[in-house]
Amino acid sequence: MSTTRSATLFAEAKNIIPGGVNSPVRAFKSVGADPLFIDHAAGSRIFDADNNAYIDYVGSWGPMIVGHCHPDVVAAVKAAADKGSSFGAPTEMEITLAKMVIDAVPSIEMVRMVSSGTEATMSAIRLARGYTGRDKIMKFSGCYHGHSDSLLVKAGSGAATFGVPDSPGVPQDFARLTLTATFNDLESVKALVNDNKGEIACIIVEPIAGNMGTVPPRPGFLEGLRQICSDEGIILIFDEVMCGFRVAYGGAQELYGVTPDMTTLGKIIGGGLPVGAFGGKKEIMSLLSPSGGVYQAGTLSGNPLAMAAGIAMLKLLQRPGFYKELEDKSAYVADGIAKAAKDAGFPIYSTRVGSMFCAFFTKGEVHDWNSAATSDTAAFAKYFRLMLAEGINLAPSQFETAFVSNAHTQSDLDQTIAAAAKSFKSL
Ligand code: PMP
C-alpha cells in the first residue's frame, strides 16, 4: 500500500499549518505514523489521497452514524446550498431541527444551536454560572468537553494523548475554578461538593465517557450525580456531544433514564456539518440573550446547510429498527475483536455501549482515567499500524472511541475481525 501522496501533502502542510493539521489528534503522533490525507469517503469506507480504501471506524469522530455521503443528507445539503449558504437571520429550518431535538432529548425544553461541541459546552457553562450566580464548576478527569479554557483541565482525548492535561495558555486563575473529580466515583464528587459548599455552578460529565477510550458509567453513578446536584442546587450538564443520538435516539439520558438539567450536543445533529447545540429547562435557557442577560452568539449559528444536514440525519435515525441494527452490528464487531485478542493470547479489556466501543490494552478493568492510563500505549500504537495496513481505519489513539455506522456491512465487520486476529497474533 503506497501512501506517498499523503506523505507529500503532510510535508507541505507542516510548513504552513501547525503540525500539518487543523486538529492535533489527526497528526497520528502518538501511534508513530504519518497521517493519511483523505480524498473522499462513501458509506463505511474512507479513501486516502493515494486512493487506498479503509473501513472507517472514526466516522469523523462520531457524526457519520449512517456512513459517509448518505444520499438523503447529501441531497439536503445541496438543496440548501442552492438557496443560500448563510443569511445571519432566522430560518424555518432552525425551528424544525429545534423541535426534533426537543422531542428526542428528555432534558431539553429549549435549545440553541452553535457551530461546535466546544461552543456548546462553553456556553452551557456560562449559562449555568449565570443562572446559579456561582463561579466554580466540576468535571471529571479524562472527560473531554472541547478546548475552552475552563474545560481544558485534566481533559481526555487529544489532550490525554499528548500528555498536556493542563495546556499552556490556560490561566491558573481559570483552572482554579475547575474542580476535577474521578469518573465513576461518587465519593470523590461528594468530597469536592462538601469542600466547596454553595460555590459550584455545575457538574459537567460525559454520561458515557468517550474521550479516555470508552468508559461506561457504573450502575448508580449517573443517578448519584443527579441526586447530589438536586440536593445542592448544582446544574447537572450531560455532555452528549458524542453519545447524543448515538447510543439511543434520546442519547444516554434516554438509555439510562437519568435526566440532567442541561445537555450539550454536537456531531450527529449536524449530519457531518459544523454544529453543536445546548439545551435544557426553559427556566434556565430563558436567561440567554436576548431573552435574558447571559450573552452568547454566533455568525454561523443555525447555518442553513448544517440545519438541512441535521434534519435529514435525524429523519434517518427515526426509521424503525435503526438502533437495533446498529446495536447488533456493534456487538458483533466488538465481541469479534475481543475474541480475536483472547484467541491470540493477547489480553485486552473490551468496552462497549451501543455503537461506541474500545479495546483497552490493559489486563485489568477500566472504569476511570487512572485505570485507562495503565494501557500499553506502545502496543496499541503497533496494533493501530497493523490494522491500518490491513485497511482498517481506527482512531489513532488508545484514548478514543471506535464508532460503528449502519453502513458497515457484515463483510466489513468480518474483514475487521479477521484483520484484528492477524494483528493480535503479530503483537
Ligand atoms: N464534548 C465531547 C464529549 C466531545 O467528544 C467533543 C469532541 N470530541 C467535544 C465536546 C468538542 O466538540 P468539538 O470538537 O466539535 O468542538
Q: Name the catalytic one among 239, 261, 368, 412.
A: 239
Q: Residue 365 C-alpha to ligand 1 middle, in angstroms?
A: 25
> Interior CA angle at 238 toward 262 and 90, to 5°?
50
In the annotation, is 99 catalytic? no
Residue 73 pLDDT > 60, yes or no? yes
The dihedral over CA atoms of 302, 303, 304, 307, expressed in degrees to the nearest 10, equals -50
pLDDT for 156 beyond 70? no
Beta bridge partners of 114: 276
Which listed residue (29, 139, 267, 329) is catalytic? 267
C-alpha cell at 206: 460525559
Topology alike, domains 4-69+321-425 and 71-318: no
267 is catalytic: yes
Distances (CA, A) of 218 to 9, 53, 170, 234, 396: 44, 38, 32, 21, 26
Task: Look at the pTM and tell me if it is higher than 0.90.
Answer: yes
Task: Please tell me which residue in 131, 144, 256, 323 is annotated as part of the active site.
Answer: 144
Instruction: Give the C-alpha separation, 99 to 83, whole Å.
Output: 22
Q: Which of 135, 120, 156 is nearest to 278 (CA)?
A: 120
Q: Please say if 144 is a catalytic residue.
A: yes
Each residue's pLDDT tens digit, 234-272: 999 999 999 999 999 999 999 999 999 999 999 999 999
Q: How far apart are CA 121 and CA 205, in angstroms?
A: 10
> Of ligand 1's atoms, which has the minimum distance to the CA of residue 267?
15
Nearest Cα neighbor of 427 from 357, 337, 365 is 337
H or E stretch covering 228: helix 221-232
Q: Give the pLDDT score at 163.
A: 42
- Phi and psi at 275, nearest 5°, equal -145, 145
Band of residue 7 on the pLDDT scale cut at 50, 70, 90: very high
Overall size of the chain counted in residues: 427
Average pLDDT of span 26-39: 95
Q: Which atom of ligand 1 is nearest to the CA of 146?
A: 11
Closest alpha carbon to 424 in 369, 393, 383: 383
Those residues whose C-beta lies under 8 Å from the C-beta of residue 364, and which sit 6 or more positions away, are 349, 371, 374
ipTM: 0.99
Cross-strand partners of 310: none
Is 47 in a helix, a strand, or coil? strand
Residue nearest atom 1 of ligand 1, based on CA coordinates: 145
**Residues 57-61: what's their mean pLDDT?**
98
φ/ψ of 220, rounded to 5, equals 95, -20
* Residue ranges around ligand 1 (CB below 6 Å): 61, 116-118, 121, 144-146, 157, 206, 210-211, 239, 241-242, 266, 276
Q: Which atom of ligand 1 is nearest to the CA of 243?
A: 3
Proportion of the chain in helix, strand, coil states, percent, rounded to 5: 45, 15, 40
| The pLDDT value given to residue 173 | 84
* 145: pLDDT strictly greater than 80: yes
Give the position, in ligand 1's atom list, of the atom nearest the Cα of 23: 14
Q: What is the DSSP string of 131-186?
A: HHT--EEEEETT----S-GGG-BS--HHHHHTT-SB-TTS-HHHHTTEEEE-TT-H
The CATH superfamily of 4-69+321-425 is Aspartate Aminotransferase, domain 1 (3.90.1150.10)
CA of 146 to the centre of ligand 1 (A): 5
Distance between CA atoms of 126 and 262, rounded to whole angstroms? 12
Q: 128 near 237, Cβ under 8 Å?
A: yes
Using CA atoms, how far apart are residues 225 and 203, in angstroms rounded to an integer?
A: 8
**Which region, left, alpha or beta, applies to residue 380 given φ > 0 means left and ψ of -120 to 50 means alpha?**
alpha
Q: How far is the CA of 343 from the centre of ligand 1 (A)?
A: 35
Report residue 168's pLDDT band, with 50, 70 and 90 as the boundaries: confident
The CATH number of 71-318 is 3.40.640.10
- For the chain, the domains span 4-69+321-425, 71-318
The half-sphere exposure of 266 on its side-chain side, counting CA atoms within 13 A, is 24
Rounded distance from Cα 276 to ligand 1 centre (Å): 9
Q: Output the CA 149–ligand 1 centroid distance in Å.
A: 14
Best of 61, 118, 151 for a ligand 1 pocket test (most atoms within 8 Å of beta carbon)? 118
Ligand 1 centroid, distance to 265 Cα (angstroms) = 9
Going by alpha carbons, the residue nearest to atom 12 of ligand 1 is 117
